[in-house]
Every structure is written in structure tokens, then in C-alpha cells.
Structure 1
Amino acid sequence: MTPRLKRARTDSESSDTITMDVETPAKPKQHEKLWFDDGNVVLSTDVHLYNVHRSILAKNSTAFKDMLELPDVGNLSIALSGDISKGDGWEGKPLIRMVGDSDEDVYHLLMVLYDVKFYSSHKPATLPVILSLLRMSSKYNFFDVLYEVTKHLERIYPSDLDGMTNRNTDSLLVDYGFETDDYDFQLLVVAQQCNVKSLIPILYFDCATFSIDFIIRTAEALSLERSTFMRILRGRDRILYYLRQLAVKAAALLAKFVDDPPSFPINQLLEKGRRVEDEDLLSSVCEDCSEACATSLDAFRTEIWESIPGIFELGAWEDVTPKVLDGPSPSIADGMEQAP
């Protein structure tokens, strides 16, 4: 429990004067795992102090590199809001105050730098880790980390049609879909904050497949910006238009489609492995009709895909897809603008 101090009673006050408790802010304490005896820079949150290495931070982050190259940086207190003051370092080491960053975000980022087993883009991670790495790597130009977490997310929220065929939600999050129902919305918020353009169209698309009631509840819970909320709703209406068109395209299967409609037929059409004209449905029509239907739906699938960025008022795919995504560092920066 946070220690409390009681105001001393003066002689002029009566014995029944009510004393007021004053909260004493808890001081950050040394982190047990990320406090290295040979560390030479201290990061401070409102919860922990992290004694880490200037060389590690500077090697991985251009933002930290520039900051730590400031003249006479040894005995400084640096607030990342831009405030720098002398004489408030930590035992001769620079003290960097992580203003505006949660302790959890700082911890997750440092664990990636110091523990190779903590995170891999090829293994499922928890949603908080994914969100932290996206926020922190974008904010402080940890381009290699940003590249890895973006490629991780692009397996689930792809920017090419072939990627939709290979979507595997189990490869993204631990207990995907069970940690929280609003993970698509949380990821959309952070992807927009970090301006990771390649992820945004399919995040919008997935958010728009939820019911109106769920979208409204989630928008209120996450305090979604009105522009984001309205884009989701308008996009949802446009997807319903394609749903009606899908029924027309699949006219040969219409009777069975109406009797037993799939939950999200547009999603299933895009994720070609679970498309609407599967073997059970096609068995009810002749071979010629089946081929004609399949050809028509292939073309329709491409049409919907090309329309997705426009459905959510994001331009075209070329406007949101990075030019180069084959390597980390400068290449990932080319396709992503710094969030203001």
C-alpha cells in the first residue's frame, strides 16, 4: 500500500480537527531482471528503473542514438518530451525519463533487445506484447523490431490477395480470439497511431464484420475516434452491398445458399480455402454450371479485394502498401511515415 503522511496539528487547532491524508507518490524501484551492474544508462518509468546499455539502445534505435550523442550526456536527466536538465542523472549515468510510456511497454521493448526467446515473429505472442512492440518500435525508430512485428501482423492482416488464402490466426496470438473479443479494434487503433499503412485496410475489414451492437460497444470502450468509427460503419454498409452481389453471382447455388448461409461469406470468399462454392454446395449443380460459377466468383473475389482500401476511404492498395518490405531498417522506414 502506498505510504501516507498525515499533516501535523498546530497548537491553534482543536483536538478534534480532522487530519487529511496526503498520497506520497511511490518512487520507481530497480527492475529485478533488467538491472545490469555494468549498465551505463538508466531508463525511468513511474514504476521501475532499468539500468541498461547505451550501445544496445543506440545500435537499435536512431532516436536513442541521437539522444545519447548529446554533449555532456553523462550526468543528465533527459525527459523524452524534450526537457533536458543537468545534475539529475543516476550515479553519473544518464537518466532518461520515459515520459508518456507505460512501464509495460518499456519492459516489453527491453526484453526483445535482451532476451532472444522473449519474442519471435514466427511464434504466437500475447496481444499486450504485440501492441507494446508496435507502439515503442515506431515511436523510437527501432526499425528492426518494427520490421519483425509488422511482418508478423501481415500474416494475419495481409496487403496482397495471396496472403488472404494463407491466413492463420493461430500464428499471431496466444489463444487468438480468447484473450479479448476486440483485438482487431485494439490493433487498428495502434496501427493508425503508428501509421503502419499496410495493416490498416484488412484491420478495418475485419472490424466491419462484427455486429452493429458490438462495434458501438467497442468504439465506446476504446474511445475510438469518430472518424475511425464512421469509416467502420460506412465500410460495413459497402460490404453488405457486395454480399448482395455475391448472392447474384452464386445464383446457381442460391437455394442452398439461402437455406444454410455461411457466417461471413465475403470473408470466406476472400479466404479462398473456405470459399462459398465448396464441394458440398457444388454437388447440387452440373459440372458446367459449377465451372461457370467458380470462374465468376474468382473474378468477383479479385474485384472485392481491389475495392477494400476504397471501401474504407484509404485510397488504393498502392497507397497503403510499402514499396519495399524485403529487409529491415531503412526499407521498412520507406513504407511507414512517423506518427505525429
Structure 2
Amino acid sequence: MDVSEDAMTPALSSPKRHETLWLADGNVVLATKTYLFRVHKSVLAMRSSVFRDMFGLPSAHDEGSGAQEVVGIVPELCDGIPMVTLEDEGRDVEHLLKTIYESRYYNSHDEHHTVDKVCALLKLSSKYNFQGILVDVIEHLSRIFPTRLEEYEGIFEGHPFRYDFEGNCHASNHLLASAIQAGVDDLFPALYYACANEPFSVLRRIVSDTPAGWAALERLVEGQYKLKDAGPRIMSTFVELTERCVYDHNLGFRPFVEKQSWHSDYCYQFFTIDLGELTGSTITQSLHERVCADCLDGIKETIEQERVRIWKELPQYFGLGNWGSVRAKLRARIEDRA
């Protein structure tokens, strides 16, 4: 963020006044490459310590009264009003300001948000220390990418594409990139998990070319490597137990070749590493004619135990500690709304 010293000269690419966020009584203009926003210093300063310091305004705990002039910067003027030039994308700033000025624009308990909106709020609320908005987004993401397997399964059942944010099937990639930029990616092992099935070329595009980005890429690759045997491990358990029932109980006395014919039909179920799909019920749903009822229940239970074990170890796969420490950090961030 900076304030230009030279007056802005008209150009073909000059930013235009935003249709709704050019407020007649605003006393500061935020300029981006695409939009000009005329807003209020006091409104921004009330919710952001960064803007409060920039404008030289006292906090609620400071002594003194009234607004002061911008300190430490040479204000550029737009229609006689101080103007601050931001490096951020105009659309991202629009999302942030609409969240501040329009009470219904972002409800963290509403599922229907674009990924662009959530990413913009995550990045800018962190950058400018809009702590209340940042906590709202963290809470929002903690419900979409939860810390408990049963909650993860519940999300998957209702939204098999993990909240695709109005059609964006790559939402997880964008969200992780923004979480890394905001420095809160360590709160969401399940978000890392959602991105871990991507090829390296995609993973490389997710992260920024920064120390934080490279650390996140290392986590992704390490987690991806450790997850490679998760699906096959469940599959091997499945094969072992079903074969044991077939041979021990001699169901149907069918020829050996016929008994083996199911393999090609079942392998497709293990092409995913998503524990929302690799459930005992899903994997065994067509086994009723192959194994006995007693063995079928045991197979389901054993697969569920393996799934629980994988989920329990998931944060460790990405170098994020354990679920207990993740939940503790989440609670601390959510409680820190001030």
C-alpha cells in the first residue's frame, strides 16, 4: 500500500468511480487500477488498525478527540479529497468495502458465496487487520474444512464438490492460496487434504513465490506422498477380508476364476483418496452376494477403523501437528476478535 506523490493523470486505463461505493460525504478516496472508492476514514479506522494508523486516528482506547490529518504520507488529492493508492485488485477491495458497508453482503453462515469474495476477504482482512472480518472467514472455512471426520463426511454428503462456490470446482486451490497469503493455512489441514490430489504442476501454481508459499508447497508434496498408500491400504484390507470369507465359507462353490472376477469392478472405488468417498458402506454395498452377513459387517467395521486412523494422522501428513493443536489454534484465533 502506498500513496502517490504525483497527481493522477488521465489515461485510457484510468480507474473509474465505483457505482455504489462513491459516497458523497466520504472524506478519503481509495484508488485501485480499476476503481475509485470514496469512503470514510472513521469507518475504516474503526475496524482496521492499519487504516487507523495510516490516517493518524486515535483508537477507542486512546486519549484525545477528533480525527487528525494523515500522518507520514503525502496525500494525493482527488476532487480535493485525500487519496490513498492501493496495490490490491479493484474487485477485491470492492468485496471488502461492501462487507463493511452492506450488512448482508457477507454472512459467514451462508453457503452461497463466490470463491472470489471469500478469497478477497481472507487476503485483505489479514493484510489490513480487519480482525472481525478475518475471524468470520476463518469460522466459515472451519465449517467447510472441519477438524472432525463426521463433520467432513456431512459436508461431503450435501456438497460432493466441497462447496464449489457457485460452480468453481477449483475453489479449494484458490482458498488455500489465499489462506497461505493470509498466514492462516496451518488452521486447515482438511483444506490441504482437498488440494493434495492435484498434480505437482497444479500445486506449484497454487502457491506464491514466497517463503510461505514454498513452505506450503513442501507441506503439500509431503502430504501427497504420505497419502499415496491411503486408498490402496483400505483396498488391501478390503481384498484380504472378502477373499478370506470366500475361501473360508466357500460361498456358492463357484470356480476360482469366477470368484476373482470382481476385482476389475471394484478397483475404480479406490481411485480417490477422499475419505468422504471411501466409506465402509460405499465400498461394500455390492458385496451382499459375495460374502456372508457376519463377514460383511466385519468388513465395514474394519474399513471404518482404517478411515478413522487415516483421518487422525491427517494433520501430521502435512506437518501441521495433530488435531488437538489445530483445534486449539482455531479457538485462539476465533476468540481474538478485537
Aligned residue for 2:52? 65
Question: The residue matched to 1:166 in structure 2 has which SS?
Answer: helix
Question: Shift of the alpha carbon at 1:40?
Answer: 2.2
C-alpha deviation, 1:196, in angstroms? 1.6
Partner of 1:31: 18
- Cα contact 1:54–1:68 (8 A) shared by 2: yes
Q: Which has the higher helix share?
A: 2
Determine the structure 2 residue equivalent to 1:127. Answer: 115
Cα deviation for residue 114 of structure 1 reads: 1.9
Q: Structure 1's 189 and 35: CA in aligned 2 closer, same or farther, altered over 3 A?
A: same
**Residue equivalent to 1:84:** 73
CA distance in 1, matches of 2:237, 2:16: 64
Sort the Cα spacing of 1:253 and 1:63 in 2 relative to 1 into closer, same or farther, 3 A.
farther
Is 1:200 the counterpart of 2:188 in the alignment? yes
1-structure distance, mates of 2:52, 2:271: 48
Change (3 A) 1:119 1:325: same
Residue 273 of structure 1: how far off its partner (Å):
6.7
- Distance, in Å, in 2 between the alignment partners of 1:275 and 1:235 is 26
Percent identity of the aligned residues?
A: 30
When the two chains are superposed, the root-mean-square deviation of aligned CA atoms in Å is 3.3
* Aligned with 2:165 (options 164, 169, 173): 173
Q: Which position in structure 1 is the counterpart of 2:224?
A: 236
- What SS does the aligned partner of 2:286 have? helix
Uncovered stretches (5+) of structure 2, i.e. residues with no partner? 1-9, 59-65, 244-259
Kindly state the Cα deviation for residue 118 of structure 1 after the two structures are TM-superposed: 2.8
What's 1:106 paired with? Answer: 93
Contact 2:231 2:270 in 1 (8 A): no
1:6 is matched with none
User: Following the alignment from structure 2 to structure 1, what is the Cα–Cα distance between the partners of residues 132 and 122?
Assistant: 11
Give 1:293's aligned residue. 299
Task: Look up the match of 1:321.
Answer: 327
SS of residue in 2 equivalent to 1:175: coil
Checking the alignment, whether the CA contact within 8 Å between 1:61 and 1:142 is kept in structure 2 is: yes
Alignment deviations for residues 173-195 of structure 1 (CA, whole Å, 9 cap, x no partner): 01141xxxx43222212111212
Q: After TM superposition, give the deviation of residue 217 of structure 1 in Å.
A: 4.6
Contact 1:47 1:103 in 2 (8 A): yes
Q: What TM-score comes out, normalization by structure 1 length?
A: 0.73
Taking structure 2 as the reference length, the TM-score comes to: 0.73
What whole-Å deviation, never above 9, does each CA across 1:294-321 have from its counterpart, x for those lacking one? 2222221221012111112222223433
Looking at structure 2, the residues matched to 124 and 38 of structure 1 have their Cα atoms a distance apart, in angstroms, of 32
Whether the 8 Å contact between 2:18 and 2:37 is mirrored in structure 1 is: yes
> 1:266 corresponds to which residue?
273
**What's the secondary structure of 2:220's corresponding residue?**
helix
Question: In the alignment, which residue of structure 1 is the partner of 2:201?
Answer: 216
Find the aligned partners of 1:234 and 1:73 in 2 and give their Cα distance.
51
Hey, what's the Cα distance between the residues in 2 that align with 1:195 and 1:327? 12
